[in-house]
Every structure is written in C-alpha cells, then in structure tokens.
Amino acid sequence: MDNQYRSTFIFIGFCLAVLLLIFLPDAGYTVNLIIRGSAIMGLVYAVYFYYHYLGLASGHVHYSEQDDSNKIGILSDEIFTQTHYTALQDIIFSMVKSMNNAFESGIYIINPKIQNFELQKSTSSEFLEQIDINNTIAIKCINQKTTATFYQKDHTTPWQEIFAGQTWRGSECVVGQAIRFKDKSVGFILVRSEHFSDIDPNDLMLFEYLGDIVSLFMEELNSLEESIDNNQNKSRLLDLISELNFKQDEPAVLNTFRNLIRSFIDYDCLTISSLNENHMQANIKLADGIQAHLPSENSFNIHGTIHGLPYNEKKTINVMNWSKRYSNLSRFKAGDTDEYRSDSVLGVPILIEKDIWGCIIIERSRSVRFSKDDETLLILIARILGAAIFWVNEYQKIYQNAIRDGLTGLLNHKTFMERASDEIQRARRFQHDLVFLMYDLDKFKRVNDTLGHPYGDYVIETTAQIMKDNVRTIDVVARYGGEEFAIVLVNTTQEMAMVVAQRIVDNIANHEFSMDGTDINMTISSGLCEYPKDSEELSDLISFADISLYSTKKRGGNGVTIYQDEEETLGT
C-alpha cells in the first residue's frame, strides 16, 4: 500500500507540474525551475514505474523484495506453456519411490503472474496446489545449490502452508532441491518422509541428481523451441523426449534415436559410436543401413579416420567427396581397401556436460551433400541424445544406489523384501519351489572391537563376494542387515539348496581373511526353509529361516539347519 500511495502522490505532482508549465509559462525563474524539476522527476518515475511494475506483470525477470540472501529468480511465461515434461515427472517420482516406497514427492514451479509456486504434479493429495512466494521453506529450497532438509517440528507454520492440514507427529521431514532454468531458480522438488531417520546421506545425494535432471530437461525443451521452426519436426522431437523411458538400457535409447534420424534424413549408412576410456579409440554402439564393411573388432582409431574427425576437431563435419578433401584419412582403418566408399559424410559430436561422449555419422554413397537443414537437425538430435544418455546413466546410478547396499553391492533389505515377494508370486504362478536362506557371521562383534570397523567392513565385503560366487544370477542375494545376509534360491528344492548352503558355509570357514598383515578365520551360521512346503507367506519364510539360523548358533555355529529339522526338534 505504501508503494501505491507514493506512486499516486508522485503522479498527481507530475500532472500539476505539467499543468503549471502550460498555464504559467512566464512564471519567475525560481518557480519555473521548481516546476520543470518536478515534471522531470515525475517523468523519470513514470518510466521506472512502467519497467518495474508492468515488467513484473508481464512475467519478466524480477526479484522478490526480500533481503539479498532471499532473492528469487522469476521465470518468464514460456516454461508454463510446456506440457511435454509430464513423462519426466513420472520418472522422477518412480526414482523417489525406488529409494523408499513411503516417500511422497511433489514438483513446484513459480508462476510469475500470481507470484506463487504452483504444484505441477505430486504423489500425494496432501501437497497444496499453491505455495506463497515468501514461504521460508520454499525460499531456502531455491536458494541452496545443494539439498535442504526441514523438520516439521522446527517449521510448523511454513509446513502447514505446503501440506494439507492434519495431525503431524513432529518426526516428519521434507527434503527440497532447486530446479534451475537459464541459471535461475524457478522451482523445486520436495520429498517428504514420515520419519527423518528414513533419509540417509545417500538419499540426499540422489535427490540432488533429481534436480539436475529436471533442470537439464527443461533446458533441452527450451533449446527445441528456439532451434526448430518446423512445428511438425518440433512436435515429433518433443514426443520422442516425452516417450523416452529412462529405465531402458543404452541400446534401447540408441535404437529410438536411430528410428528418429531415419525418419528425418535420407542416408545409406548410420553409425553411432562412443569414446573409449583411453580416448584413442571409439566403440561402435549402433549401425544402420550398409553394415557389411564395419570393422570386425567393432572399434576404430579416432586418429587417421573420417569417423574420428568429429572427435578430433570437436565440431560438426559436413563434406562431399571427403576422400579427396581428406586424402590422408581412411574410413575406419588406415590403409583400408573397403569396397564400400561413402562420398558425402555428415558427422556430429555427442556431448555430455560439455565433454565428447560419442559421435553420430551418416553417409551417402552418392555425391549429394547433406543440406544445412539436415546438419541443423542432426546437431539438435545429437544434443538431445547426449542429454538422454546422461539421463539414462543418472537414473541407473540413482536406481543402483537405491536398491543396493553401499558396502557390498548386494541388494539392500528393502529391495530384498520386494524381490522376495515377487519371487513368491512367480513361484505361485509357475508352481515351482523356492528356498530361503538366512546367514549370520559368527562372533563378528569381536572383529570390530579388536581389529576395528575397516577390518569388519573387509570381512563383510569378502563374505558377500563368496556368496555371489556360489549362487546363480537368477537367485536373490542381499545384505539383510549388519553381518546378516539373505538368499532366495529360485526354482530349487530343499535337497538342492542344502548343497549350496553348505558350500557357502565351508568356503567361508576355509577362507583366509587377511588385511594389513592381520590374518583371521571366520565362520558363518545358516538356516533355511522352503516355499510352499513350510509356508506361502514371506514373513513366515523369513522368520522360519531365522529360527533355524539361531538353532545353528546354539550348536556352536559354522553349519546349516533346515527348518523341518527344527520343527521336529521343538516337537520332541
């Protein structure tokens, strides 16, 4: 209101000054000077008013009237017209759920028209549709480059402004990660947990990845809008991005882009390659069209070859009659007498975070140069492909970190329970047996107490490797917790499982654990039960295997107990 009164006062003063200049042109020098000064000041303020307030209304960049530490970048209206990032939002939510199915998440983007954060999508109806721009949780989320964590008991008022009213226990917490566009914070991802202890440091690192992925995706959408004039081509590319499944593997993604390039550009041969770790060679990841004359080892030297030229020059090449222009180069191998001689070549580097990941090369055997439009389109496709490969790799990092134990690489407890439940459903459908094995290292506490936790970690890692080496790829192996492990042997009877279980026990007992000049011997205890013989319920099967395990412990460890034997023992 103060701004409104001040603006009104200055505007009235400006009008009076203009009227006085018109009706009192011959006023004295001093009076005339004051009147002219007032008119100029009013004009200056009018210009300021136009750019500051009308600019804000139209959605241009503005900063909230907080102190400097709370300045918020406001995005122009363009981002709110995009609808093609819905698929990405679903992927983000699935990533969060893969970390912990109890996590709830929402994505907020600022709306410059109403100066509020608007909910784009969420996994729970408890996320409110709008958050005030001055909400302290929202402000801190978008101003921090890393994740920000907030506990309900410490932020009760701003918490209620984000989540629908209900009774909170005080143990809840929310993690926020900024989303950036054109170097400005435009929103954030919120992930809520019912208890703060459910979020570990690894989760925070993964949440940071999520913000980066969404930010990169929005940048690519904007690049599409700016680079492509043809609405049909733009729509097809946007549809491609929307339909990308980041749970796919790399070959599946490359096939999607192969189909896209084929539909846009006429070529005789397409090759997508990626740089080796030694940066001297490239591996052929995908080939289409004329493939009879590809290198038999599926790799080529990037020096001395036309296919390596985009790697070396770090730029696009578009040449006709390349063998004359680059007479010192071969197609894939120096001195190559390949029967297939391409004439026109268009090659574009694939960049990931400004580093060359690979290259797209399309060739024609006839003397028809690739057009400038072909070049522009392939450059853009290469840029999107680079982003897609980045997203796929980041998803795999997040997924692997979410499902696996950080020390051993085995499945973690939560993922084991999910996979075990899946195996029970599959076994029920196909009428086959499962065996559940529980293991626990004997007298492990003495290792940590006498030799230290690094030695204890070494023992756990080694034990995990022995288990992996003694089961099949179809079996489920997990670090159940601490020094305890769990295995589900798929389509296996109790008799067959006993051989595997005993072999693991023997291999650990016979293994010489040695680290930093200290040698020790370890043993392990095991218990097992069978599906569906002992039970068809997951909780029972784990409980029965655990009971058998501790029966082994009571007998001194270093052995295997079958649950049926345990039942008979209890009955006698």
**What pLDDT does residue 367 have?**
86
Q: Residue 56: pLDDT band by 50, 70, 90 thresholds?
A: very low
Alpha carbon distance 299, 282 (integer Å): 6
Alpha carbon distance 401, 198 (integer Å): 15
**What pLDDT does residue 572 have?**
38
Q: Residue 184: pLDDT band by 50, 70, 90 thresholds?
A: confident
Between these two residues, 282 and 68, which has the higher pLDDT value? 282
Q: What is the pLDDT of residues 501-557, one digit of tens each?
A: 999 999 999 999 999 999 999 999 999 999 999 999 999 999 999 999 999 999 999
Q: Mean pLDDT lowest for which of 92-101, 103-112, 235-244, 410-419? A: 235-244
E strands present in 55-183: 104-111, 116-122, 130-132, 148-151, 173-181
Helix (H, G, I), strand (E, B) or coil at 367: coil
Q: Mean pLDDT lowest for which of 65-69, 149-153, 269-273? A: 65-69
Question: Nearest to residue 277, comparing CAs of 306, 247, 299, 252?
Answer: 299
Is the pLDDT at 484 greater than 50? The verdict is yes
Provide, rounded to the nearest whole percent, the portion of the chain with pLDDT above 90. Answer: 45
Between these two residues, 235 and 100, which has the higher pLDDT value? 100
Contact 250, 95 (CB under 8 A): no
Q: What is the pLDDT of residues 351-361, one digit of tens each?
A: 987 889 999 99
What is the domain partition of the chain in residue ranges?
2-57, 77-224, 241-373+391-398, 413-571
**What pLDDT does residue 483 have?**
95
Alpha carbon distance 397, 391 (integer Å): 10
Provide, rounded to the nearest whole percent, the portion of the chain with pLDDT above 70. Answer: 74
Q: Residue 492: pLDDT band by 50, 70, 90 thresholds?
A: very high
Is the pLDDT at 295 greater than 70? The verdict is yes
Mean pLDDT of all residues in 310-321: 92
**What pLDDT does residue 181 have?**
74
Q: Mean pLDDT lowest for which of 40-54, 295-309, 446-460? A: 40-54
370: DSSP letter: P
Between these two residues, 214 and 223, which has the higher pLDDT value? 214
Token representation of residue 57: 């209304």
Question: Nearest to residue 360, comparing CAs of 439, 434, 254?
Answer: 254
**Separation in Å, CA 313 to CA 126, 306, 343, 347, 349:** 53, 11, 20, 11, 9
Between these two residues, 369 and 76, which has the higher pLDDT value? 369
**What pLDDT does residue 253 have?**
86
**What pLDDT does residue 178 have?**
87
Please tell me the CATH code under which domain 413-571 is placed.
Answer: 3.30.70.270
**What pLDDT does residue 36 have?**
54
CATH superfamily entry for domain 77-224: GAF domain (3.30.450.40)
Mean residue pLDDT of the chain comes to 80
Q: Residue 376: pLDDT band by 50, 70, 90 thresholds?
A: confident
Q: What is the pLDDT of residues 521-534, one digit of tens each?
A: 999 999 999 999 99
Q: What is the reported pTM?
A: 0.55
Is the pLDDT at 78 greater than 50? The verdict is no
Is the pLDDT at 79 greater than 70? The verdict is no
Between these two residues, 428 and 388, which has the higher pLDDT value? 428
Between these two residues, 239 and 58, which has the higher pLDDT value? 239
**What pLDDT does residue 339 have?**
56
Q: Residue 402: pLDDT band by 50, 70, 90 thresholds?
A: confident
Give the H or E element holding residue 455: helix 453-469
Q: Residue 27: pLDDT band by 50, 70, 90 thresholds?
A: low
CATH number of this structure's domain 241-373+391-398, picked from the four choices 3.40.50.2300, 3.40.605.10, 3.30.450.40, 1.10.357.10: 3.30.450.40
Q: What is the 3-state secondary structure (H, E, C) of 202-248?
A: HHHHHHHHHHHHHHHHHHHHHHHHHHCCCHHHHHHHHHHHHHCCCCC
**What pLDDT does residue 87 have?**
61
Instruction: Give helix 29-49 / helix 2-23 axis angle, nearest 10°.
Output: 140
Q: What is the pLDDT of residues 91-130, one digit of tens each?
A: 678 778 767 788 999 999 888 777 899 998 899 999 999 9
Fold equal for 77-224 and 413-571: no
Q: What is the pLDDT of residues 424-450, one digit of tens each?
A: 999 999 999 999 999 999 999 999 999
Between these two residues, 16 and 300, which has the higher pLDDT value? 300
Q: Residue 454: pLDDT band by 50, 70, 90 thresholds?
A: very high
